[in-house]
Amino acid sequence: MGYHPHREVAVPEGELFIVSSPSGGGKTTLIRRVMEMLTQEGRKAYFSISHTTRKPRPGEVDGKDYYFVSRKAFLAMVDAGAFLEFAEVHGNLYGTSWKEVAGKREAGFDVFLDIDVQGARQVRGKVPDAVKIFIFPPSYHELKRRLLARRQDDAEVVRLRMQNALNEMREYGEFDYVIINDELEVACRELVSIVTASRLRSNRMRVRVESIVDEYARHLKEDS
């Protein structure tokens, strides 16, 4: 005992989970529910808040649902290189700032990004170790039903979203995982499983495992 200096065991950095789906695919509801489940288990999970130039929908709160900013302010952030990804979707700008993600990961939080397929494409290049998850609608009719139920878009916008969804779904192979969002509770459990498994990858377990191996080797030497 004692010939090893006391070492601070570093907190393993949190993972970055990119959760994408076509509009209406249900990714936001899914992530919110999974955040609750993880937090209840005492796990450190953070739902990244995006910047957007879109107007708040009824009930949406600035700094909670989004950071609502003007187009001018958004473009100034783009100029300053503040965004990990940003995209114009259906006429509005959406973006995730580097600041939003990096600090939380360093503190050991798993960070969840709720971004569309365009945005996911940008993050893939910049954060190669991100875990990329595509949420599939279960069927054409179910996606259409969900988009119409939101009652926030006119028929033409719904038609456009339905067409975009097809092109986006065809990119599923660029993601690590696919979850079919048919029953919410099943989909949530599946996402939690992906999060749990990602933490157990051997390269992610390095810090804990090497500390066990070092101590083991020390005891084995002392015992013989």
* Positions in the binding site for its own copies (CB under 8 A): 134, 136-141, 143, 159, 162-163, 165-166, 169-170, 172-173, 175-180, 189-190, 192-194, 196-198, 200-203, 205, 208-209, 212-213, 215-217, 219-220, 223-224
Identify which of residues 92 and 167 has a Cβ nearer to its own copies in the complex.
Answer: 167
Q: Nearer Cβ to its own copies, position 74 or 134?
A: 134
Helix ranges (DSSP H) in 23-154: 27-40, 71-79, 98-106, 117-126, 140-149
Closest CA to 140 of 148, 152, 151, 132: 148
Q: What is the DSSP string of 12-49?
A: PPPPEEEEE-STTS-HHHHHHHHHHHHHHTT--EEEPP
Least Å distance, CB 211 to its own copies, is 10
Closest CA to 130 of 210, 194, 83, 202: 194
The smaller minimum CB distance to its own copies, of residues 41 and 62, is found at 41
> Which of residues 60 and 182 has its CB atom nearest to its own copies in the complex?
182
Residue 95, beta-bridge partner list? 51, 86
State which H helix or E strand residue 196 sits in: helix 184-199
Tokens of 33: 């529910």
Distance in Å, CB of 224 to its own copies, minimum: 7
Beta carbon of residue 112, minimum distance to its own copies (angstroms, whole number): 16
Smallest separation, CB 176 to its own copies (Å): 6
Tokens (6 digits) for 49: 């808040």
Token reading at 93: 């700008």
Q: Quick check: helix, strand or coil at residue 178? A: strand
Spatial separation of the C-alpha atoms in residues 65 and 58, rounded to whole Å:
11
How much is the CA Rg of the chain, to the nearest whole Å?
21
Residue 94: CB minimum distance to its own copies, A: 24
Nearer Cβ to its own copies (101/194)? 194
Min CB(58)–its own copies separation in Å: 29
Place of tokens 């959406």: 94
Tell me how far, at minimum, the Cβ of 136 lies from its own copies, in Å.
Answer: 6
Pick between residue 70 and residue 224 the one whose CB is nearest to its own copies: 224
When the beta carbons of 92 and 196 are compared against its own copies, the nearer one is: 196
